[in-house]
Amino acid sequence: MPYPEKTAKPGRRSAAAAGPARATVAIAFVRGMLAGLVYAGRDTAPLLEQAHIPSQMLDDPEARVPIERYAALYNLVNRELDDEGFALFSQPIRIGTFEFLCRSVITAPTLAAAIDRSARFLRLVLPDLAVRLDCRDDQACLRIGETRPLAIGRVFAFEWLLRLLHGLFSWLVGRSIVFDSVAFPYPRPQHAADYALIYTAQSSFDATELAAGFAANLLDLPIRRDEAALLAFLDGAPGKLTTLYRRDREMVLRVRNALRDALPHSASLATVARSLHLSPRTLHRRLQEEGSSFQAIKDALRRDLAIDRLAKSRQGLAQLAAELGFADTAAFYRAFLRWTGVAPAQYRRRLLAAGDAADRRRAAAAATQ
């Protein structure tokens, strides 16, 4: 079956009228997820094929993958390995572990108790990493440190566990747990720009251990989920958690939708605030509380829409720039170069080449059957 990006007909509709653009993630997250398989010498192409991710994209450090394909690959790798830890650790985390983690914390009375139970549970199933909670005055800090050096996919291992716990804790209390800052125990990776949407814009690197700070009063939040809610939550989990960072912050999502609805006009912060019945200062503060900013949301929206359109159509760059609210093609070119490191035309050629190669590979496989 051809990829949708390859077969979609070029359209004349504006970006705002074409349906929601799929959020994307950096290819580095895909490479990290596959690191255990690669280390073991296993062929990753079949799993990538099932997730509709051309394997050639792994060689392009600037490539981005639709979030739903990333989530699909997440669950495929888990099932293939019978390991929810992607073969990155000294012992496998068998399928079903995440469900039992959820069941162990859902009866906790507060977030603080849920974090404590999670840390104790992970000590049993993930001895390579230690999770603990520190509190000092009005600041709480979730800490993750190595108990033994991680030899495979170290960066992804920390990214994965923090996102897993952050998504779970936010779901348990029915609201986003906003990180004021996160210090990561490795040098700044090339894909660190994505951290502003996944964790917080206040990220630092080269720390001795991972430290995610948040307001201590959030620890008193009650757990609001029950068995019925858990059953729905587990449908598609844990891969589904990878999609939550685009949805678990209410104001970020509302601003993103408002900006998208305004296209092809480039709405200002004041215009969006007025449409949301807020003052610009209040909107700025609310976004800051959710670990984001107006410009970061606008950049991410335009980037995702641009990549989506470059993949799906042969639409001219001038028309695409206009539909995304840029003053001219040169401004769009500069922005795209800043987002991805390559020119839009070059990025489109890479996408087309990757899709063509995948088509040839499928045809060759079919011919041998």
H or E element that contains 302:
helix 294-312
Q: What is the pLDDT of residues 231-274, one digit of tens each?
A: 888 887 777 666 544 444 578 878 988 998 999 998 999 999 99
Q: CB atoms < 10 A from the CB of 214, how many?
A: 22
What is the structure's pLDDT at 369? 56
pLDDT higher at 311 or 120: 120
Q: Round the CA-based radius of gyration of the chain to a whole number and report it.
A: 21
Phi-psi region of 223 (alpha: psi -120 to 50; beta: other; left: phi over 0): beta
204 — pLDDT class (breaks 50, 70, 90) = very high
What is the β-pairing status of strands 64-66 and 129-136? unpaired
What is the structure's pLDDT at 286? 81
DSSP class of residue 222? B
What is the structure's pLDDT at 31? 96
| Separation CA 204–CA 94 (nearest Å) | 32
Chain center to CA of 361: 28
Integer angstrom CA distances of residue 181 from 107, 203, 288: 28, 6, 11
Q: What is the pLDDT of residues 100-113, one digit of tens each?
A: 999 999 999 999 99
| Separation CA 258–CA 242 (nearest Å) | 23
Is residue 8 predicted with pLDDT exceeding 60?
no
Q: Is 324 exposed, middle or buried (0-12, 13-18, 19+ CB in 10 A)?
A: buried
Is residue 351 predicted with pLDDT exceeding 50?
yes
CB 309 within 8 A of CB 347: no
What is the structure's pLDDT at 364? 59
CB 196 within 8 A of CB 296: yes
Q: CB atoms < 10 A from the CB of 282, how many?
A: 13
3-class secondary structure, 139: strand
| Separation CA 217–CA 173 (nearest Å) | 13
* DSSP codes joined into one string, 190-221: TTGGGHHHHT-S-EE-S-SSEEEEEEGGGGGP
Average pLDDT over residues 65-80: 90
3-class secondary structure, 154: helix
What is the token pair recorded at 332? Answer: 């769009």
148 — pLDDT class (breaks 50, 70, 90) = very high
| Separation CA 132–CA 319 (nearest Å) | 51
Average pLDDT over residues 104-133: 96
| Separation CA 24–CA 68 (nearest Å) | 8
